[in-house]
């Protein structure tokens, strides 16, 4: 097995070297000062986001209830008003989708989607604001671009190693499998967890500035923990464990509390009476 380890170390060094060269030529900085690899033009990311959003609207029913839509808009608008970077010229498009999963998303180009199922878990305006702020945090931190860029570089690196090894090598599959797992668990997943934690903190600041109580972000993730069932081990997940996430938020809430207290207004958004408890199949 010593020869295999030697092979792996040799090609991993070459892979890391390729990554380093690309990183130095395409380096960016996130809103929280973290170095990023960003390869795609933002116009291309916006086009991809708009296309994905249109595809979503064509496949998933859109919620028509005015009370649900006005509530989500009431929470979203004060948050987007505090977005100073990556804000779309034509404003943010917000759509509520009739989907029972507790989910929301934001896409480059100013697209925000909220699933009706989220309203059963994010039970207050501030809890919903924590989710929406988090998703917008992904956009303004260019996490989508970063993930695409890292995946492209990893694929290029692995393709180069594969070409050098030659698929006639009797240990080709074993070596490529080991390299692929190394890229996935050693690079892509940890970076995804970093991005999730970063979006949590960006979202926390956004919701506080918008006048939503940041302490309710902790309650939100406690709700998520109770409703989400089991999670895979943290090192195998793209998201931090609920306990890790809650602890990070608890440490950060006192730092943004002054922003909440200084907010010129506190939005008064009334959750719809039918929202969290109304079955989609009954509509």
Q: What is the full DSSP assignment across 15-28? A: HHHHHHHHHHHSEE
Q: Are strands 93-97 and 111-115 parallel, antiparallel or unpaired?
A: parallel
Instruction: State residue 10's pLDDT score.
Output: 53
Specify the pLDDT at position 14. Answer: 52
| The token pair that represents 189 in the structure block | 């997943």
Q: Are 171 and 4 in contact (CB under 8 A)?
A: yes
Supply 124's token pair: 């207050």
> For residue 114, what are the CA distances in angstroms to 96, 139, 231?
5, 15, 22
Class of residue 229 by CB neighbours under 10 A (exposed 0-12, middle 13-18, buried 19+): exposed
Q: What does pLDDT average to in each consecutive run of 10 residues of the chain (283 residues)?
A: 45 51 61 78 83 91 96 97 83 94 89 94 96 91 79 60 54 49 44 82 95 96 75 52 85 96 94 58 35
Are 198 and 252 in contact by the 8 Å Cβ rule? The answer is no
Give the pLDDT of residue 185: 43
Task: Return d(Cα 111, Cα 105) in angstroms, integer.
Answer: 8
Helix locations, the chain, DSSP H: 2-25, 42-59, 66-80, 125-140, 143-165, 172-183, 189-209, 216-227, 242-262
Instruction: Compute CA distances 144 → 61, 163, 184, 196, 276, whole Å.
Output: 25, 29, 17, 11, 29
Q: Which residues are catalytic?
A: 135
Q: What is the pLDDT of residue 45?
A: 79
**pTM of the prediction?**
0.73
pLDDT of residue 183: 42
Write down the pLDDT at residue 209.
97
User: Using an 8 Å Cβ cutoff, are 90 and 73 in contact?
Assistant: no
pLDDT of residue 48: 82
């Amino acid at each position: 097995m010593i020869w295999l380890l030697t092979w792996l170390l040799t090609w991993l060094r070459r892979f890391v070297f390729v990554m380093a060269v690309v990183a130095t030529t395409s380096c960016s900085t996130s809103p929280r000062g973290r170095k990023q690899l960003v390869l795609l033009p933002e116009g291309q990311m916006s086009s991809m986001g708009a296309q994905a959003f249109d595809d979503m609207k064509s496949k998933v029913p859109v919620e028509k209830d005015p009370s649900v839509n006005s509530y989500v808009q009431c929470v979203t608008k004060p948050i987007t008003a505090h977005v100073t970077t990556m804000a779309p010229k034509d404003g943010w498009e917000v759509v509520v989708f009739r989907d029972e999963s507790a989910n929301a998303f934001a896409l480059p180009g100013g697209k925000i989607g909220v699933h009706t199922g989220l309203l059963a878990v994010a039970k207050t305006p501030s809890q919903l604001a924590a989710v929406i702020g988090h998703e917008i945090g992904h956009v303004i931190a260019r996490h989508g671009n970063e993930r695409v860029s890292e995946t492209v570089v990893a694929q290029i690196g692995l393709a180069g190693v594969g070409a050098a090894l030659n698929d006639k090598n009797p240990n080709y599959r074993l070596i490529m499998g080991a390299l692929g797992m190394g890229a996935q668990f050693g690079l892509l997943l940890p970076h995804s967890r970093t991005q999730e934690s970063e979006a949590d903190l960006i979202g926390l600041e956004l919701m506080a500035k918008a006048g939503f109580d940041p302490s309710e972000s902790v309650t939100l993730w406690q709700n998520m923990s109770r409703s989400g069932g089991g999670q895979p081990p943290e090192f195998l997940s793209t998201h931090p464990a609920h306990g890790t996430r809650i602890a990070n938020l608890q440490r950060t809430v006192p730092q943004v509390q002054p922003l909440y207290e200084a907010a010129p207004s506190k939005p008064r958004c009334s959750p719809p009476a039918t929202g969290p408890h109304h079955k989609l199949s009954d509509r």
